[in-house]
Amino acid sequence: MYLSFRIFLNFKVFSFCLLLLLGAIGEGYGQTKVLANEATFASPNVPRTLLENLGIGAPSQRTVENSTNATNEQNTFARLNASPGLLAGLGAFGGTLELKFPGAKIPGGTTTYIKLNASDNLLSALLGGSLGNVLNSLLSTVALGAHVFTIQARDGNTVVYTANSLNQFNGTNAKVISDKDGDIYLSITPSLDYDRIRISNETTSLLGLSILQNPKTLDIYQAFYISNSSDCSSFEFTSFDGTGLTLDLLNLGGAGVANSHYAIDDNVNTASEIGVGVLGVAASMSQYIYLSKPSTIGDGFNVTLQINNSALLNLGLGDGIVVRAWSGTGATPVFEQAFNESNLLGLINLDLLNLLKSGEPVTVPFSPSVTFDRIEIAVNTTVNASIPRIVNVYDIDIITAKPQAEPDTFHICSGDTAQLAVTTQSPRLRWYLTSDAVDHEIETDSDESYNVSPTANTTFWVSAANACNESERVPINVVVYPKPPAPHITAN
């Protein structure tokens, strides 16, 4: 079934880079994962019993457990504990852990990723962005503000960045995201240089013995940033958000994002589900998918998706499904495409459109023609909507921009050499003898010419390539003319 809609993958290269999940693999193709490898501060134990509060015996309640577990890649974790205490703050405590990166300061604008987990489904709620409070009410018995964690970036003892989960990190560039395995991370991008991060866990829950016996926990697995970023972009993380939705509406079913990480798990048999159902209100639900680095101008992307209710397209309601590309902190998208029939026919052929209308998954290519760092797939509904709107996203891939051949035809005399050259933002070029050849003849640097001496008119094909992907091939023609005979000179 999938052969028909994979034709737009444009010779996707299943290289090591596609397996390079940030947080899972250390190095590859010039890309280095730098792990915070030193626990420079862990909050001390506090009194646990009445006698300990009276100064009898050493404090036994650990606020931080196994702090050094957060400084390796063994899938172990440090645990930060927190409790509101019994009365008027008696026995209240929180846990704080500071992790330092090796070497020189990290330049401002560099993103650090912290792999973490928390009790009470806290992170599952925060993964929904501004829907955090609504989702938390659905997923947990604890109010979102009752379990809070704070992240700081520091330059030595100087705090240069702070973000807090109490307001779902609003007003900061911190974001809770998921990788292709469903693991949760917090990403932060301080604007100033830093060399360490500090994470604090606390709770403001109502007093009670149960929380003393089972403190609210925040588990820290590791913190890292990427140095010497690879020359390719790939979709690594995802999150979701929505507007116009309440707890009652989410409980109705059909609204929300399920299995969001399936959209980036490199498995075309699994899919995330984005839906708004039939709610009787104007609402929207969006899944965001993040690139490992901003795209190159000219790059595009493929989205393999399925519209569960084909009536949306058959009745001309495809405008409620929108694909957007975003860049940086801009308030407006750099690219937007609605799924109405006229737009789709500019992207896919009629056969694929009919497959999409019949409820089959189809790969649709998009070409923003500008740089972007994340993709949004939005499903919208109106007050009068009577048809459930659900989209399944199976896969999303970057399309490397094809090289620009100017000129695309070279003229030589027989026996001479043509120096074939093109313009590309990718680091490498692959040259082929046919449009569908399996193996390339030669691979060159992007600024290097390919010297050929054909004996007859020949078409060569060239693609742009990086460590992850290969572009569509572009033809370059070499026209060969017979070499004129040497002039015959006769002496008088």
Residue 320 lies in a domain: yes
Give tens-digit pLDDT for 107-127.
998 999 999 998 877 787 777
State whether 357 and 312 are in the same domain. yes
Residue 488 lies in a domain: no
- Residue 260 CA, chain-centre distance (Å), reads 11
State whether 25 and 9 are in the same domain. no
Per-residue pLDDT, 285: 87
Which structural domain range is residue 296 located in?
2-13+232-399
User: How many domains is the chain partitioned into structurally?
Assistant: 3
- Residue 427 CA, chain-centre distance (Å), reads 22
Among residues 227, 259, 286, the one where a domain terminates is: 227
State whether 214 and 123 are in the same domain. yes
For the chain, 492 residues long, give each residue's pLDDT as a single digit of tens.
333 333 333 333 333 333 333 333 344 444 688 999 999 999 999 887 777 777 888 888 899 999 999 999 989 999 999 987 765 456 788 999 999 999 989 999 899 999 999 887 778 777 766 554 544 444 444 444 478 889 999 999 999 999 988 877 776 788 899 999 999 999 999 999 999 999 999 887 655 444 455 688 999 999 999 886 666 778 999 998 877 654 444 555 556 788 999 999 999 999 999 987 655 567 788 999 999 888 888 889 999 999 877 666 655 555 678 999 999 888 899 999 988 777 887 788 788 888 888 888 999 999 898 999 999 999 887 655 556 678 999 999 998 888 999 889 999 999 999 999 999 988 899 999 999 999 999 999 999 999 999 999 999 999 998 877 889 999 999 999 998 877 777 666
Give the list of residues 6+ apart from residue 48 with CB closer than 8 angstroms, or none: 59, 60, 61, 91
Return d(Cα 117, Cα 120) in angstroms, integer: 10
Per-residue pLDDT, 440: 93
Among residues 227, 259, 285, the one where a domain terminates is: 227
State whether 55 and 199 are in the same domain. yes
State whether 211 and 334 are in the same domain. no
Residue 358 lies in a domain: yes
Return d(Cα 444, Cα 419) in angstroms, integer: 13
Residue 491 lies in a domain: no
State whether 183 and 53 are in the same domain. yes
Return d(Cα 278, Cα 249) in angstroms, integer: 9
Query: Which among 321, 318, 323, 326 is positioned nearest to 336, based on CA atoms?
Result: 323
State whether 472 and 355 are in the same domain. no
Residue 404 lies in a domain: no
Per-residue pLDDT, 14: 32
CATH number for the domain harbouring residue 457: 2.60.40.10
DSSP 122: H
Residue 28 lies in a domain: yes
Residue 323 lies in a domain: yes
- Residue 401 CA, chain-centre distance (Å), reads 19
Return d(Cα 355, Cα 348) in angstroms, integer: 11
Query: DSSP alpha helices (H): ranges in 223-339?
Result: 247-251, 311-314
Among residues 343, 366, 399, the one where a domain terminates is: 399
Give tens-digit pLDDT for 370-387.
999 999 999 887 655 556
Q: What angle do CA 356, 463, 302 make, to 5 degrees?
A: 20
DSSP 17: H
Per-residue pLDDT, 261: 94
State whether 92 and 176 are in the same domain. yes
Report the b/e string of 321-336 with b at 16+ CB within 10 A. bbbbbbbeeeeebbbe
CATH number for the domain harbouring residue 192: 2.60.120
State whether 344 and 443 are in the same domain. no
- Residue 140 CA, chain-centre distance (Å), reads 27
Q: Which amino acid is at 392?
A: N
Instruction: Count the Cβ atoms, other than its own, within 10 Å of residue 353.
Output: 17
Give tens-digit pLDDT for 275-318.
876 555 677 889 999 998 888 888 899 999 998 776 666 555 55
CATH number for the domain harbouring residue 309: 2.60.120.260
State whether 382 and 261 are in the same domain. yes
Query: Which among 209, 213, 207, 218 is positioned nearest to 94, based on CA atoms?
Result: 218
Residue 492 lies in a domain: no
Q: What is the distance in angstroms between the CA of the first residue and the CA of the last residue of the chain?
A: 81
Return d(Cα 223, Cα 236) in angstroms, integer: 16
Using CA atoms, how far residue 223 sits from 206, 226, 311, in Å, is 31, 11, 46
Give the list of residues 6+ apart from residue 245 with CB closer than 8 angstroms, or none: 131, 134, 255, 256, 276, 279, 283, 285
State whether 373 and 416 are in the same domain. no
Per-residue pLDDT, 159: 97
Helices (H) and strands (E) in the chain, counts: 9, 30
State whether 295 and 434 are in the same domain. no
Question: What DSSP element (H or E) covers 136?
Answer: helix 132-139
Per-residue pLDDT, 254: 56
Per-residue pLDDT, 142: 47
